[in-house]
Structure 1
């Protein structure tokens, strides 16, 4: 989904609830200027933490809004390895949510290229996690004689 499509979705969701931009700003903690830029397609797809705030303020399921934004679709959730612990999953979620817009030469990249990059990062993340689990802890019995 493009930022214009997501902005249209957000605006329709807000209007269907009978909420003004200013009311949504107060409820979500997101500035009215940022909400306006999102709705008008002048800002990229928001980060998951922003989407969570908007979803809660609009009383829309977070997963629905994330899906509309194109973040981590359901068919991607199966990419999480069976061995991943809840702590691993938390680390992965944090990595994804803390990333800002992906830029190249100061220009935001398109959604297709962004998804390719996220796919590669996902693979690297889980590979690194698995390799880290295989490492043996260093011998803590280093006693001096």
Structure 2
């Protein structure tokens, strides 16, 4: 059985040789908040708090997010391609996801986990837009248009 996040945090803190007050000071959060998390009084902390704890303990943010249960929430990828998608749709989708330019928010590069969340959202929006576009096409939209009037 996987330990609760509070149990995991306590084990992590103790393995790093930190007291509750040490961790609180390093992370910039209150000692009572850490105590409540470890004792199960407070649930899983928000991602922003997890980032502070990750920086204070030297543990990867993604690892804390995984232990907190956030990483299992949304895992959309190419397996989410709808059955109606054509080979051109799939090619367009792959091109969109493979464009791995550096993503930034407010001038700060996004980390791997944040980029993946954005890709997950874009995946859903891409397929929704494609499906809506297919529904809205009229049969005569596919005919080539000539400049001649009848």
Unaligned runs of 5+ in 1: 95-121, 136-145
1:6–1:45: 8 Å Cα contact kept in structure 2?
A: yes
- Structure 1 runs (4+) deviating above 6 angstroms are 122-125
Q: Tell me the distance in 2 between the aligned counterparts of 1:127 and 1:28.
A: 36
RMSD: 4.0
Q: Tell me the distance in 1 between the aligned counterparts of 2:115 and 2:16.
A: 34
| TM-score, scaled relative to structure 1 | 0.55
Which of structures 1 and 2 has the larger relative contact order (alpha carbons within 8 angstroms, sep 6+)? 1
The corresponding residue for 1:25 is: 24
Unaligned runs of 5+ in 2: 82-92, 105-112, 134-150
Aligned residues: 105
For residue 12 of structure 1, give the secondary structure of its aligned residue in structure 2.
helix
1:28–1:53: 8 Å Cα contact kept in structure 2?
A: yes
1:68-116 CA distances to partner (integer Å, 9 max, x unpaired)? Answer: 11112398163799436747x969858xxxxxxxxxxxxxxxxxxxxxx
Q: Does 2:124 align with 1:126?
A: yes
Q: Tell me the distance in 2 between the aligned counterparts of 1:39 and 1:93.
A: 27
Q: Tell me the distance in 2 between the aligned counterparts of 1:123 and 1:93.
A: 6
For residue 76 of structure 1, give the secondary structure of its aligned residue in structure 2.
coil
User: Residue 9 and residue 27 in structure 1: after superposition, are their counterparts in 2 closer, same or farther (change >3 A)?
Assistant: same
Higher CA-based Rg: 2
The corresponding residue for 1:47 is: 46
1:94-143 CA distances to partner (integer Å, 9 max, x unpaired)? Answer: 8xxxxxxxxxxxxxxxxxxxxxxxxxxx7799338964xx99xxxxxxxx
1:92–1:125: 8 Å Cα contact kept in structure 2?
A: no
